[in-house]
Structure 1
Amino acid sequence: MVTAGLAVLAGIAGLLLALAVLWPLRARGRAGFLVACLSIGLASASLYLLVGDPRAAQEPAAPSLAELRDGVQALEQALEREPQRADGWVLLGRSRGELGQLDAAAAAYSRAAALAPDDAGVLVEAAQARAQADPEKHFDDRALGWLQHALQVQPDAERAAWLLGIALRQRGRDAEAVAVWSALLPRLQPGAAAALQQQLVIARAAAGAKAPAASSGALQENATPLLSIGIALPPGFDPAQWPQGAALFVLARAPGGPPMPVAVRRYPLQALPASVTLSDADSPMPTQPLSSHAQVEVLARLSRTGTASHAEGDLESAPVTVQLPQRSELKLQLR
């Protein structure tokens, strides 16, 4: 019934179109004019009945899970015929990942990486898939090797650098992670750079705030102390009452700016210093060294968790704003 009605509408539309197009010819003969118009209208209706389908105007429905699985099966069959197609294995890996089949996705990406060992994009996806398949989301040695090689063949591969930093931090190689991320930072957009800066601060702190050799060239040129800070502990302070992982952070940040420090030092509970110096070598962001600031806000925090983030139970000094370079020693009292 619906199809017949639409056929009538198609015929009417054809008739109206014929009237508009053939109207100038009516003077040559009314009978011929009417026959031509009716013929076009009937032809339109007949053509619709032959090939028309009202469902063609509807948006296609999203494929079902069964259809996705059928597509994966068809792709696997195609790869059996052409197993040397690296792009096919990449597509299979993505499809398996979308189906939540992480082990199968990692296996497919491994095949792609073997076929395209110098394709940075493939290596990065393979490494990430391998980590996602791991219960602890750990980048194993093979994934680490893929990421390192991806940066060798494409030094500006941002995703490779980001994931490599994570893989290095998982191994406790924080100084190396800082070197990789410090090289990446200037190339990022502001939003991504801000997120990476926070991770750099944490990585630098975990590395003991020592600038790695691979990234310290420019900073070492101005390693002269710009700040000398004396740290006073509360009266009766007993280290035995604190967790073994506690740590002291001494940091400088831009007054009124973001919370990320422009210089930071970290000391374990077992080696709390009486005084600390800060220089460009302690800057977690090479693009914003301590010496680039005329004024900084300085504070010290004894963290119970050993992380740079403030937590309940920490001891902290009041922040003090000073001019750089600071000529005399600044005194900070932990409370």
Structure 2
Amino acid sequence: MTVFWLSTIGLVVLAVFLLWYIISDSKTNHDDALRDELNKALYQDRLEELSEEANEGLVDNQQDLEQDLKQSLLDDIPEQTQRQQTRISSKAVLMLSTVLIVVLSYGMYWYFGGLNKVQHWQEVSSNLPELSKKLMPGSNEPLTDDEMQDLTLALRTQLHYKPNDSTGWMLLGRIAIANRNVTTAIDAMEKAYRLKSDDGDIKLGYAQALMMSQEEMDQNQARSLLTSLMQEEYVDIRVFSLLAFDAFESEDYPSAIKYWSVMQRMVGPEDARFEMLGKSIANAQERMKGSVVPGQAVAVTISLSADVVADNNASLIVSVHTADGSPMPIAAARYPLGSFPRTVVLDDNNSMIEARKLSSLTDIMVRVRLDSDGNVTTKQGDWYGESQPAKLGDTVDVLVDKQY
């Protein structure tokens, strides 16, 4: 702020100097002296002419004419008081103009320049450490909407001057997540992650931002980040929370129940979150029970053998076939990889042909494949498994243990 005011003072001083230079131009300061010199030269010339005319006998009253010439010279010389008044008038104009420049410059800035906003911006920027503490995990003082806006302004200011501040980008990403601003959240968290990819909080924040995206690639990357966090010596409870939410949204109810159960053990019965987690588990159990309609849907429980090494970016493809093992599926669905064992449910909404619904079958078999490249027509290197023939409406178990 000091630099700003010093620069404005410098500009005002420059404007006053230019005004002074214009008003007191050096040529105008010598006008009176130049006129005096010219009058004197004319006076001397005229005296010489009168002398010559007198010698030639052209004039008889030389003294009278010289006296008139002297009087004319005196009349043409400005009086001292008049010159003093002129100098005083110039100083008055200069002083008044200086005052007007200062008053108009700062007055117009105060009225049109957003001085209050600039001062607020400076105050918010200086208060960044205190506001940042309220955004950190474990803080008992939630940010108000106004404080959230102030913190965003302060962070953007700091990041303009310090673009390599990973913590600043992480905090900006958390604000965007809280405001459901997906684009800003992902961009900010990605910058933080590129600057400090080994930081657990940043990695978790980046995964949370990616989970908000509707793009499958972003969601798969989020799952990959969460899986890597699961390998750490200490696993943050928020990792399990995100995994549970993702599993529930993907209708992988057994996995959601598993993660919420782990969270319950972590917080303990004394924690207020314990009861809320219990309700979530009960909700998932009800969804799992009601998801299979006898004779109209099939529940498939999938597990992996110990030999399977699954790519975190792979997709899970589940297809229902006629009991004779026909390669053409009657119904199929693609899911994120998730965790295993897991249960998925297929019904008429997953039918491949409108004229032949899944519910029209009686005997079925199920195939499961881990698609590693996103192309269903290529199978080289993919792991797969298939069930024994079963009845529609039964729960079918499939072990993925073979590789193409």
Q: TM-score range by the shorter chain?
A: 0.3 to 0.5
TM-score of the superposition, structure 2-length normalised? Answer: 0.31
Q: Which has the higher helix share?
A: 2
User: 1 or 2 for the larger relative contact order (CA 8 Å, sep ≥6)?
Assistant: 1
